[in-house]
Structure 1
Amino acid sequence: MFALKRFVVALLTLGLWVHPTLERTLEPSPECYSFVESRSSHLLYTGNSSVGNVPILEYKVTELTSFDSEFELRTLDPEGVIFFGDIGGQQNYFLLAVIHGNLSVQTSRGDGQVLVTSGPKISDGEWKKIAVMKQEGAVAVYVGSEAAVTVQQSAESQMAEIGNGFLRISIGDLLPDSGVTLGLNPPLDGCMRSWDWVRQDSSILERTLQDSKVQRCWEHIAPGSYFTGVSSVGFSPLVLLGNSSAELDGADWTLSVELALRTVSARGFLFILVDTQNDYILSLKLNHPSQELMLRLRGTLFWSCSYPQTLCSGESQFLQLQVRPGQLVIGMGVTKATMRLTDGDYELLKRVLSQPGSRVYLGGGPEGVSSFHGCLQAKIQGVNVDLDLAEVKHGDVRSHSCPAALDIRDGK
């Protein structure tokens, strides 16, 4: 029996297409710190679904001799889809995902209900061998040699395995015509290698990796968020402020922004508060022409300092920005300054932060304008910012990983 080698690598429309913005992110920009950005042609990135890159495999059930699959996975992302499959129609599906850092399985039941089962923690940045094995009336998921999750199959799913339909597998997202409701953010900042899908030839994936660099992963990763120099993310301020948003009406409210970074190009916006008219109310930028870190308030230069000598040496940089009643405090390395903030400006900042439609951008401006290139970690109100909470993303941003060469922890 010969398997029908009908593999489809799709961008939600089952046709190969790479967003031109993503290809531009890999163009070189003026660098102040050079490193080898080794994106391997045998490591498949699973997190491009937000821009339409979803590899999909399709097989005729009658041509299959096995339903077992295995692969190795590496991720630091606490949430996202690893793969989604259905057989004989949308009603018989199987979802393997990461939720709260743990392996999770979601599958359909014959009565229309959904079964969700949680497994071990896997979001530690280490490679994990994962196998999905068909058993009698059940599916078992192994991590290494240990059975992590076992779920019972519905009668409908078992019947579909001997039917005349198709088995479809999408990597990193749902199938485009799936009606499944997810309680998670699909893109998984993760990497896959050494795959074997239902014991069939999947060389189309290797060809995709050869053709498209944005589908590749780095050989080694470190925690952080990687911005390519033509990318940015935008958030609702109230999402970032969390519980402190309820205190915006208070007279003693304080805004705290902490940034840790390692630059590749010494330019671009690091932080911007944009109002509903798209005006920049508060911004922090690496200004390449003057070689200065610039803080602007309502479009006017409020403070600046020369780049530290270590900015382009590969060392990590740490910035702190605080807005208090009557004061704006900023620090970068050993440089620290305290400026007077008028009551009017203090109230303006609070008002913009509380307005629906305002946004906070990290790593660049709207549409990726004047963007940062390097590894960035941000805290707002003392809480790590999860880029998966962003309302908008521009360009190829890796939310939870950076090349190991830009590891902020190793940057002295």
Structure 2
Amino acid sequence: CLGSFRAGLFTAARQSTNAFPDLRSCVNAIPNQCNPLPCNEDGYMNCKDGQATFTCICKSGWQGERCEFDINECKDPTNVNGGCSQICDNTPGSYQCSCKSGFVMLSNKKDCKDVDECSVKPSVCGTAVCKNVPGYFECECAEGYSYNPISKSCEDVDECSENMCAQLCVNYPGGYSCYCDGKKGFKLAQDQKSCEAVPVCLPLNLDKNYELLYLAEQFVGVVLYLKFRLPDVTRFSAEFDFRTYDSEGVILYAESLDHSAWFLIALRDGKIEIQFKNEYTTQITTGGKVINNGLWNMVSVEELEYSISVKIAKEAVMNINKPQNLFKLTNGFLETKVYFAGLPRKVENALIRPINPRLDGCIRGWNLMNQGASGVKEIIQEKQNKHCLVTVEKGSYFPGSGVAEFSINYNNISDAEDWQVNVSLNIRPSTDTGVMFALVSGDTVPFALSLDILVSVENMVISRVEALSLCSSQQSHLEFRVSRNNLELSTPLRKDVVYSEDLLGQLAILDKAMKGTVATYVGGLPDVPFSATPVNAFYSGCMEVSVNGARLDLDEAVSKHNDIRAHSCPSVLKNTKGS
């Protein structure tokens, strides 16, 4: 119709054949463009017919010519995230705000609030501690424990199963500890997990001479035994150079084969003592000058016709009368057995005056029964442990390979329920770790003092002195006093009365042990579990110990490792400075 009324095309002929006489009539005849509906049914609000065209009026949240496109309000730059505080969910023609798990929607339908699960459900973590966090909660356990959500409880973590330690790992509730075998020369490194060799911080002069016989090789028994059967000798004689700092002990003991006669050369209070017994007489004589000065002294004992002559440095110091020969001849032979540094069997009770047979000293240049060294040199040369150190100083030496045990009563005389442990130590360590003094009860160590000045009760450290280097060529003096309610520790730097919150509790453990039986160990620990104490390495170096005012004589110990030297200590290696 409209085409017929285009400009320049309207004619009477057309007019006569057209059903619509004019343009208005033709326009009115155009059908409604909104029918059928051209707009998106979900997005349109109204369709407006425009005569040969249409206009879709969109609902809020829709756009497009036909309202076919949803507006994503969640991405509207003018209204970030649709105004939602957490989650914005776009929907056809609209959107809605929602909250993450652990949050609830506020009344404004946009903002979220955290749910405190620990308050809503107090037992949600069982025996663990509930900690509320934004949107969630956590069940917390103490360090060394992990949470089991099934049983709702804290369970110990076995760190040892994870190979945390280089050598020994001991797991305990809530933690673990690493230990190293100190007796094999290892100590715990700074990372508290790996082990490292115990370093020597003060080298010592350990040079030995095979021509020097060491008299203290054995703690029990004799060092050397010789048997003589001589046809042309009728009298006893012995000559030797002797060096010691020890004040008492047996140098030489000789006896007849039938044990009826014997002769003893010993040291008492630093002086030569002679004891002998045969069928004619029994005698004991002590005299001469003090020779336990660490110097070499020539000693000679010679049986004369009617006396026994004792000389030191070729000067007569004793002349002992005797009626007959010391030993009877057997079939024209003088048959004797000679023992160095000790007594055979159990003859101590047979002596005229008892003596501690142990003697830390050296002999050289010996001549027995006028037979010279008579094969002794070859015997000594074969065994390193029979050799003497070339140079020594006064003191006791712990080589880091054993301990000495003492039996000491620490109870007060006036009060049997009370006890006191007062210990002073003069030390010159050659390594920077090791147990110096310990009280042991069964498999436990109720008290120990270790380098580097560490005091422990069982496996708990109750006092530690930091930054104190004792590895020096000079001796250091340490003291400590401990009772049931007090601990005092004195070092070269200061004197402290130790106090801590746990001290009284730890001293109570010690007090309980002191009411039972405790053994005193010097220089290390016996065979106790690694975990019994923080340090288990042997002490290495020189050390002298006094307990409750009395100096401990290692010759009088209940037991002592043979390598420990009771009265001689190696000198510091020359040209070595203490660190």
Same-fold status (TM-score > 0.5): yes
**Is the partner of 1:150 in helix, strand or coil?**
strand
Post-superposition shift, 1:94? 0.3
Alpha carbons of structure 1 residues 29 and 204: separation in structure 2 relative to 1, 3 Å: farther
Partner of 2:460: 300
Give the aligned partner of residue 199 of structure 2: 30
Partner residue of 1:397 out of 564, 567, 572: 564
Asked if the contact 1:282–1:299 (Cα under 8 Å) also holds between the matched residues in 2, the reply is: no
Once the 2 structures are TM-superposed, how far is the Cα of residue 319 of structure 1 from its aligned partner?
Answer: 1.5
Q: Which residue of 2 aligns with 1:280?
A: 445
- Taking a change above 3 Å as real, the CA distance of residues 281 and 403 of structure 1, as seen in their structure-2 partners, is same
1:14-53 to 2 correspondences below 5 Å? 30-52=199-221
Task: Give the counterpart letter for 1:264 in structure 2.
Answer: S
Q: How far 1:150 sits from its partner (Å)?
A: 2.8
Identify which of 359, 369, 375 aligns with 2:519: 359
Partner of 2:387 in structure 1?
Answer: 216
Deviation of 1:96 after TM superposition, in Å, equals 0.6
Within the candidate set 460, 476, 481, 1:322 is matched to: 481
Distance 1:333 1:385, change over 3 A: same
Distance 1:89 1:141, change over 3 A: farther
Q: TM-score, normalised by structure 1?
A: 0.80
In structure 2, how many angstroms separate the alpha carbons of the residues matched to 1:223 and 1:46? 16
Q: 1:128 aligns with which of 292, 297, 306?
A: 297
The aligned residue for residue 110 of structure 2 is none
User: Structure 1 348/109 Cα, relative in aligned 2: closer, same or farther at 3 Å?
Assistant: farther
Answer yes or no: is the 8 Å Cα contact 1:227–1:397 preserved in 2. Answer: yes
1:69 maps to which of 238, 242, 251: 238
1:181 aligns with 2:350: yes
Which residue of structure 1 aligns with residue 283 of structure 2? 115
Q: Please name the residue that 1:260 is paired with.
A: 426
Change (3 A) 1:146 1:354: farther
The aligned counterpart of 1:170 is 339
Q: Deviations over 1:293-344 (max 9, x none)?
A: 32111331111123523x3343322221111463211122214432248667
- Structure whose alpha-carbon radius of gyration is higher: 2
Identify the match of residue 379 of structure 1 among 535, 546, 549.
546
**Alpha-carbon displacement from aligned partner over 1:33-80 (angstroms, at most 9, x marks no partner):** 123212222211112232545211211132537632211111111111
Question: Secondary structure at the residue paired with 2:413?
Answer: helix
Structure possessing the higher relative contact order (Cα contacts under 8 Å, 6 or more residues apart): 1
Find the partner of 1:103 among 272, 296, 299.
272
Instruction: Provide the secondary structure at the position in 1 that maps to 2:287.
Output: strand
Query: Match of 1:122, SS?
Result: coil
Deviation at 1:162, TM superposition (A): 7.3
| Bigger mean CA offset, 115-124 vs 311-320 | 311-320
Supply the distance in 1 between the matched residues of 2:225 and 2:291 (Cα, whole angstroms): 24
Note if contact 1:72-1:127 (Cα within 8 Å) is conserved in structure 2.
yes
In the other structure, the counterpart of 2:309 is 140
Q: Distance in 1 between matches of 2:460 and 2:339?
A: 49
Could you tell which deviates more after superposition, 313-322 or 383-392? 313-322
How many angstroms apart in 2 are the aligned matches of 1:396 and 1:198?
31
Alpha-carbon spacing, 1:48–1:380, altered in 2? closer, same or farther (3 Å) = same
Give the drift of 1:198. 1.3
Question: Is 1:59 aligned to residue 228 of structure 2?
Answer: yes
Matched, 1:207 2:374: no
CA offset at residue 278 of structure 1? 3.5
Q: Distance in 1 between matches of 2:208 and 2:468?
A: 30
Give, as a single letter, the amino acid of the residue that structure 1 aligns with 2:300: A
Q: What is the CA-CA distance between 1:177 and the residue it aligns to? A: 7.7
Match of 1:7 in 2: none
Instruction: Say which of 243, 258, 261 aligns to 1:89.
Output: 258
Q: How far has the Cα of 1:228 moved from its partner?
A: 0.7
- The percent of aligned pairs where both chains have the same amino acid is 26
- Partner letter of residue 99 of structure 1? R
Helix, strand or coil: the match of 1:208?
A: helix
Q: Which has the higher strand share?
A: 1
Letter aligned with residue 314 of structure 1: S
Q: 1:353 to 1:91 in 2, by over 3 A?
A: farther
Q: Which amino acid in structure 1 is aligned with residue 437 of structure 2?
A: F
Corresponding residue number in structure 2 for 1:10: none
Task: Identify the structure with the greater helix proportion.
Answer: 1
For 2:325 and 2:515, locate their aligned partners in 1 and report how far apart those are by CA, in whole Å: 50
Contact 2:437 2:524 in 1 (8 A): yes
Question: Which of 397, 407, 411 in structure 2 is aligned with 1:226?
Answer: 397
Shift of 1:118: 1.0
| CA distance in 2 between partners of 1:199 and 1:49 (Å) | 27
Structure 1 pair 139–321 and aligned structure 2 pair: CA distance change class (3 A)? same
Q: Which moved more, 1:222-231 or 1:298-307?
A: 298-307
One-letter identity of the residue aligned with 1:283: A
Given the superposition, is the C-alpha separation of residues 93 and 333 from structure 1 closer, same or farther in structure 2, using an over 3 Å criterion?
same
Change (3 A) 1:156 1:134: closer
Instruction: Give, as a single letter, the amino acid of the residue that structure 2 aligns with 1:327.
Output: N
Shift of 1:86: 1.5
Letter in 2 for 1:303: S
Which ranges of structure 2 fall in alignment gaps of 5 or more residues?
A: 1-183, 186-196, 529-535
